[in-house]
Amino acid sequence: MAAGKPVVILGVFVADTAYRANRQPRMGETILGNSFKLGPGGKGSNQAVAAGKLGADITFLTRLGVDAFADMAKQTWNGAGVKSAVIDTPDSYTGAAYIFVEEGTGNNAIIVCPGAAMLISPADIEAHSDLIRSAGVFVTQLEQPIAAALKALEIARGAGVTTILNPAPAASLPDGIYALCDYVTPNESEAEGLTGISVSSVDDARRAADALLAKGVGTVIVTLGEKGALLHTKDRSEHVAAVNAGPVVETTGAGDAFNGGLAAALARGVEPLEAVRFACAVAGISVTRHGTAPSMPTLQEVEELLARA
């Protein structure tokens, strides 16, 4: 299948340090864990890896330190077919994340220190404006400064590029950002953070999505974990069931798998409802594997799953 139009993702790479234990330690307490793993992470980077492994023509825009974790980032992208536009930042460090995974459930708790990526500025975005304008689909999240995300969305929107904002981690946003977004893709807690509407059902998700449409968003896609996703516009509201690929091992990368899959599908010209179904299948496979970037499936794996489903 053709790669479609170029995808550009602005975001953060962090080295994931993942600790598995039966429970979280309490303050002042030390407990023995069951395992440790070091691997590539960061929402934007994971999304780029997901899109790259799905065959998209993808470039990832970020800042890195000049260190061992930066080398890991570049190796990860090369292996997934991701081109990179990296601003080297020797006076800072490449980001890292502490990830606690609860052994019995696979649930997680995370601390992210973005490092050099926190220095991504509107001036950096201006310097890469031609790259952003060349895209068919532009994606960003909220791990780098919001001012940079806002500037990038303005440039993309001005060039007629399809824009996706994954509002993660949850943050308060300037009102003007919503109208720059063709798609906003919150999970349940992020939807509540943006709208004040608690989301525990599909109907709740519809109410939250309506609130986001009222702020100027084109299309809202609320990801609902094992309940799938809701595609919601002024004219249609479609609940897409999750695609089951097997037993759940770890959910850490599911949202990034979904967003990378959505971007790859839209870049190929897939219509939105089918793109959401495709993205649900990408996420469905990712949760059957350990890790974030390493859990992302290939296009062949996703197409085979959809054919079976």
DSSP string over 168-221 = -S-----GGGGGG-SEE--BHHHHHHHHS---SSHHHHHHHHHHHHHTT-SEEE
H/E/C letters for each residue in 228-281?
CEEEECCCCEEEECCCCCCCCCCCCCHHHHHHHHHHHHHHCCCCHHHHHHHHHH
Q: Per the residue annotation, which of 16, 182, 204, 256 is the catalytic one?
A: 256
| Angle between helix 272-286 and helix 299-308 axes, rounded to 10 deg | 100
**Residues facing residue 86 across a β-bridge:** 62
Q: Which of 21, 22, 42 is nearest to 253 (CA)?
A: 42
Apex CA 88: angle with CA 87 and CA 91, to 5°? 125
Buried b (16+ CB within 10 A) or exposed e, 180-196: bbbbbbbbbebbbbbbe
Note if 175 is an active site residue: no
| Nearest one of 242, 249, 247 to 291, comparing CA atoms | 249
Six-digit token string for 56: 């998209």
Q: Which residues pair with 88 in a beta bridge?
A: 64
Percent of the chain that is helix, strand, coil (3-state, to 5): 40, 25, 35
Contact, 54 vs 264, CB < 8 A? yes
Return d(Cα 44, Cα 42) in angstroms, integer.
6
* Catalytic positions, written as ranges: 256
